[in-house]
Amino acid sequence: MFFQRALTLLPLIAAPALAAAAHDARQETSSASAAGSASAPAGTSSAAAGAASGASSAAGSAAGSGITSGAATLATTYTFSLLSSNPTAVPLSSINAAAATESTIPLPSTASPGATASYLSNGPALPQASIVPSNYPTMDKVPPTDSDQVKQWIQEVKDTGIDIPDISQTVEGGCPSNVEAAKNESNCWWTCSGCTRDTDIVACPDKYTWGLTYDDGPSYYTPNLLKYLDEQQIKSTFFVVGSRVISFPQTLQEEFMSGHQVAVHTWSHPYLTTLTNEQIIAELGWTRQAIRDVIGVSPSMMRPPYGDIDDRVRKISLALGMTPVMWTRISQTATFDTGDFDVHAGINTVQDSLQNWQNILGNASEIDTGFIVLEHDLFQQTVDIATGYILPDAIAHKDPSFTIEPVITCLNKPLADAYVETNDNDTNPPVVSGSAATALSSGAPGSAQATGGSKGEDDNNGAAALRTGATLTALLAVAGCFLTGLSMLGL
């Protein structure tokens, strides 16, 4: 399996700034709209014309670098140019926070209980898609830790013999609210240092190979994405939220039976480093349980919400049989995140997201590996951006062309290895340890609670991060109730 490899930290084109990353930084400051500059490639200097004037001097010091990144304020001009778009794409002018609700489509197909996935020779029969919500914790809330089920998972972690580091919980509010934790490099906290361990999956090994991922579903809009992926014969990895799994079990079954990879993205989407060990176990355990109840197998990979992970979270994940998967991040400010999530909230524009995509393409040509990109299928805006613009543009690239596939496949592993029950333990033994670390500069943009941006933001960044973290939790809860209601109505 391909894990973190040492990457040279390349010079930056502009002063460090936070992009409004979907699951990176939740900022309510003006720089949150500067998503177009999160990972700008070479050849996009004209974009700086509409950015902060301070970027120009920093750009001069980074001359000759192919990997560049952004200004501290909203760019007023964009340099992206798409090779192709979907003829039926929603117009860019209609993809925004005020977008009218679009019609969705039925699932491309519906598998029958007892069916088996054709790509899994040793896969179990598909369970019934019916779910009894009362058998699970309250949706979009951190599950209680005193249930017999959670106690069993706690014992499971203990029985592995994996030593869980005694690392204190963080508090929401970002690096300014966790000064000591941010300074302690030994904890390998991705949020403030960009640190990863050799057990983290951060890229695909082969150049121009794209590990396609979508977070936060299944949702009311996922069938639209599945239809397009099916038409283009593309498979993806879906990092699913447990609360959404029990809301849309048939959608998850369709993902699984169609050959997409299913992986864990927690039960309620919290900052995992803020939780106790027992709460982390409950978050991961209940999501794993819900997935297994719906598709019959348990994922061997997980992605921490907001990328918020340290060695404590890592070891608990590994003890539960889940390898952490991040998205590619090659310097302090260059992160492979489209920023699509924040279009729904009005923090980013669709143009910001497409500029991010253009920047990702530029940076993909500068690294000697493939890459993993962060996208989402929770909202219609994120699906519209993916099916209307990003995927068609990627498909149109022929020189070079991209190999687009699930994370497990981009690691040159069979899809069977994506699940505990079907994994070949002889050729792909479970990952249970790891120590080698690679760290970026502290306070790196693209992190869950990182600091940065313009001078005016620094004084209140922690408070802004706390507010936005709470806002996202509320947003997901509201979205969950709305989507569940539609699902129960058969819509």
Catalytic residues: 215, 376
Q: What is the DSSP string of 416-440?
A: GGGBTTT--TTTSPPP-----EE--
Measured CA distances, 379 to 99, 257, 290 (Å): 11, 23, 22
Kindly state the helix (H) or strand (E) to which residue 215 belongs, with its residue range.
Answer: strand 209-215
Longest dimension (CA), the chain: 63
Closest CA to 97 of 345, 339, 338: 345
Token code pair at residue 77: 């001009």
239 backbone dihedrals φ, ψ, rounded to 5°:
-90, 105
Tokens linked to 27: 């900022």
List residues bridging with 337 in a β-sheet.
374
Are the beta carbons of 270 and 244 closer than 8 angstroms?
no
* Residues in a beta bridge with 401: 398
Question: Strand locations in 97-200, DSSP E?
Answer: 196-197
Could you give the CA distance from residue 178 to residue 432 in angstroms, rounded to a whole number? 28
Task: Spell out the alpha helix ranges (H) of 322-400.
Answer: 341-345, 350-364, 380-385, 391-396
Give every CB contact of residue 413 below 8 A, 6+ residues apart in sequence.
Answer: 1, 428
> What are the angstrom distances between the C-alpha of 489 and each of 21, 107, 123, 482?
33, 15, 31, 11
